[in-house]
Structure 1
Amino acid sequence: MSNQEPRRLNAAHLLFFVIAAAAPLGFSVGTIPLALGRGSTGYALAVVVTAVVLGIFAVGYVAMSRHISRRGGLYEFVTAGLGRSMGTGAAFMAAVTYACAATGAVGVLAVLAGNFALDTFGLDAPWWVWALLGAVVMGILGVLNVELNARLLGVVITIEVAILLIVCTSVLVQGGAGGLTLDPFKPAVLFDGSVGTTFALAIVAFAGFEATVIYSSETRDRARTIRRAAIGALVLMSVLYAYVSWAIVVALGSSATVEMANANPVGVFFAVTDRYVGSGMRHFVELMVVFSWFASVLAFHNATARYLAAMGNDGLIPRWFAVLSTRTRAPWRSSVAHTALTIGAVLVTIALGADPFLDLFVLGSSPALIGIPALEIAASVAIVVFFAKDRRGHGVWEVLVAPTVAATLLAVFLWQIVDQLDLFTGRGGRVNAIIIGSVAGAFVLGLIRGAYLDRRAPRDLATVVTPVDDLV
């Protein structure tokens, strides 16, 4: 260990990164209303079902994480199980997925920051001022100590969860618009709406859960830490998001929820807060929503930078991206590159006169709806193949049954998402084809790159896989 960078992160730190990427309060304000309006008021049930599926995926994921020694995330899983070419395809797809998630979220961050400044201080600045400011601060924190990032995110998350519990519990105590109802947990209600959109946004609710392994080289007691962080994140997020989405429907009533969510999605949670807690809390909630979305932007930015650094270290992209800061050990060049990309996306949005929420956020982050489940499917298949000849002390459930079931169920989710993508984006076939093509194109480009590298210099999987004895 003396020649390696120090391992600073524990399970709590990883949990903060995962929960921050999901942005509990920001997600409740900016995304859950989209799910209720464009998807189904049965979103609470979709969250629970998705958590169960991802829990099954986590069984094989945790088993495999014990044998992956590098910080390339799920693409190292795919490489170890399916070979370098497939792994490189997964790497390119992951980079696009996480980069789009972080960059797209800057759009909703800007809208919410602008609303807060206007409501609280009467400051009416253009949305792009807040977007550019958010991108710059993201870039600055991205090159600092990763443990500092985790601590900052932990403070924000604690306050976010407290706000959500106060608002939602107030709704239930007061009985809502028409009394308590369990309709949001009924299958008939779930399948009465757009199933693809509903499950797409349910999967996004857990975005970042699969990224814990990215920090493996910076994590103490890797196997145990990743297991605790992954399972803890699933349990916490599933309970919280099911509770919040249920409380919103109870607060407004089913038909009013859909109507308001489609007319003004960002205003739904604030309307519930004003009605059941009081307008006095509104300004504080608005401020914390801004911090929540920024925490999500930062978490996805950190994941993007580490994917790019791992790819650079493997020679999949220029090795320039792999350079770490001598002081903080953060992948500073990858961080700067993604920050530049985000600023460029904001400038293009300005030039086109596009909408920061409907275009930069909804369209810009749409590749993540496809890329995240696709990565999880590829990783599940890779887990089965990796352990096919040698289970390495694991049970059949861990390395065969669970990943097979997870891959099958996630494939159904992905099919529904692609089939009903237009209901989420609100755009025609050409725009949706570009979104799908961006993810598929990144994977194909990676396949080609991986095949080329394999011909030139086949990769030794010993550099990817760690013997079990070395992890005890």
Structure 2
Amino acid sequence: MSEITAAPDDLRDEPAGPVRQLRGNLGVAPIVFMVVAAAAPLGVIGGVVPLGLASGNGAGFPATFVVSTVILLLFAVGFTALTPYVGEAGAFFSYVRTALGFPAGIGIAFVALVSYVAIEAGVYGLLGPAGAVIVELFGGPALPWWLFAAAAFVVTTFLGYRNIQLSSRVLAVLLTAEIAIVVVLDLVIVAQGGDHGLSSGIVSPNAVLSGSLGIGLLFALISYVGFEATAIFRDEARTPERTIPRATYVALILIGVFYAATSWALVSGWGDDEAVARATDSGSTFLADTAQRYIGVVGTDIITVLYFTSLFACILSFHNVASRYVFALSQRDVLPEPLSHPHATHGSPHLASLWISGVVALSIVLAAVFNLEPAAQFYTWFAGTTTVGFVVLLIATSLAVLVYFARDRHGYSLWRVRIAPALGLVGLAIGLILIVANLGDLVGGSTVLGWAIVGLLVASFAVGAVVGTRTQDKVVEKS
């Protein structure tokens, strides 16, 4: 492949004005920590995996992580090919803007912003009760969930205001701890040979195709939300043309291998049929029950604490991503211009971060005031919004890749910019169909709520496209 030079093709729709840019020196590892933490690996293992086993394709569910990883790696092939031609931070909306125009890009930006703020706010609905469990575990009183949400919110707001390196260090520690304890559990299960031999469901066509493969694929796909945020840290990365692609591939492979291997180990820990039965009957304690069986009470207590810190790491990661979306939009003068001024000392998007904190705080307060059930309602509703938005963003970016390279491959192979992105797009389209078809069940059995979520995202895109058109028209008038 020929040498690729970063050179955005068309900057005529960019608003004039001083450069407002974040500062940082992130390498591959810190960015990987950031985006893998957003995926909340321990949260997925403790929450999504039991759902996939119970409602999806049973003992074959671990294989759906392999399928999802392949689909997303196909997406990443085109995504990273376009990276050198996107000369601005902004992740998905910058990629879409580069290929499909400014209005479409801003429309996608609004969808992304709604999706990321929704998941940041929603995860507080899991973190709060998890904090309460820890206090009771050590003999403390029963406390309302929103107290723990409020405490985590204060810490998140502080870290979001500071330099990105501080957040990356915190996330590195938390992520390393949560992955380490689960790897220990996996190794103990495998070393003991599982309950009665290691599961073959991950490679058995009969097991993979059993039950509801569609539901299994749905739960697998939503477990990767956040991996794509590598590109939002472009301005804070060293040599982003190399760092962003490498971080994207490393994050995807790390997440995929971790999910597939751990879910397989958990199934092996009980046996195929028993694992599905336990996930169905006591999914909320499935991970803890497995841990107690294989690594004892102390191991279970450690996992309980790290589950809480995993959720906090997820919140902090999405807060950083959402803040940078706001910062990037204000750089384009789509949102108020002051939000695009980095902190003089920290080089952080401090005002954008505070703006996101305000929206999230309002969500938590409303959930507490209206006495929403934190997990079954607050988290589920917001997570449903993010799930649909996530796949829509991936599809839009895949289309952007195909359109950008349609006439000129810029020295890339057909596989890199046409075949792989097209195959990824097909897989993502199937995933979106499955998600929308089952969205009512995903958000608590309400079809009306499911369609309301779809309507919210459609409206977000429409509003963003209108704002983008007006912003572009103002730029044209000034020029």
TM-score strictly above 0.5? yes
Deviations for 1:164-213, whole angstroms, at most 9, x for unmatched residues?
Answer: 11112212222333432211443443443344432232222222221101
2:257 is aligned, of 235, 239, 242, to 239
- Mean CA deviation greater in 336-345 or 449-458: 449-458
Residues 365-384 of structure 1: pairs in structure 2 closer than 5 A:
365-384=383-402
Give how far 1:342 is off.
1.7
**1:40 aligned to 2:18?**
no
2:32 maps to 15
2:175 maps to 157
Give how far 1:32 is off.
2.0
Give the distance between the partners of 2:20 and 2:140, measured in 1 at CA: 54
**1:341 aligned to 2:359?**
yes
Give how far 1:259 is off.
4.0
Give the distance between the partners of 1:402 and 1:330, measured in 2 at CA: 36
**1:321 aligned to 2:325?**
no
Give how far 1:146 is off.
0.2
2:322 is aligned, of 288, 291, 304, to 304
- Closer, same or farther: CA 420–273 of 1 in aligned 2, 3 Å: same
Q: Which runs of 5+ in 2 are unaligned?
A: 1-18
Give the distance between the partners of 2:477 and 2:343, measured in 1 at CA: 27
1:210 is aligned, of 228, 231, 242, to 228
2:459 maps to 441
Give the distance between the partners of 1:240 and 1:406, measured in 2 at CA: 21
Secondary structure of the 2:304 match is helix
Paired residues in the alignment total 459
- Mean CA deviation greater in 56-65 or 256-265: 256-265
Give the distance between the partners of 2:459 and 2:30, measured in 1 at CA: 34
RMSD between superposed Cα atoms in Å:
2.0
1:56 maps to 74
Give the distance between the partners of 2:113 and 2:54, measured in 1 at CA: 30
Residues 168-247 of structure 1: pairs in structure 2 closer than 5 A:
168-247=186-265
Give the distance between the partners of 2:429 and 2:238, measured in 1 at CA: 33
Deviations for 1:42-65, whole angstroms, at most 9, x for unmatched residues?
Answer: 221111001011111111111111
- Closer, same or farther: CA 458–401 of 1 in aligned 2, 3 Å: farther
Deviations for 1:70-118, whole angstroms, at most 9, x for unmatched residues?
Answer: 1111110000101111111110000011111111111111111111111
**1:253 aligned to 2:307?**
no
1:387 is aligned, of 379, 394, 405, to 405
State the one-letter code of the partner of 1:233.
A
Give the distance between the partners of 1:313 and 1:264, measured in 2 at CA: 48
State the one-letter code of the partner of 2:65.
V
1:356 maps to 374
Secondary structure of the 2:138 match is helix
**1:93 aligned to 2:117?**
no
Give the distance between the partners of 1:403 and 1:280, measured in 2 at CA: 46
Give yes or no for contact 1:111–1:356 (8 Å, CA) kept in 2. Answer: yes
Give how far 1:153 is off.
0.9
Q: Which runs of 5+ in 1 are unaligned?
A: 461-472
Give yes or no for contact 2:24–2:165 (8 Å, CA) kept in 1. Answer: no
Give how far 1:458 is off.
4.5
Deviations for 1:411-469, whole angstroms, at most 9, x for unmatched residues?
Answer: 11111111112232232211111122222221122122222333333499xxxxxxxxx
2:303 is aligned, of 276, 285, 288, to 285
- Mean CA deviation greater in 28-37 or 123-132: 28-37
- Closer, same or farther: CA 389–155 of 1 in aligned 2, 3 Å: same
**1:272 aligned to 2:290?**
yes
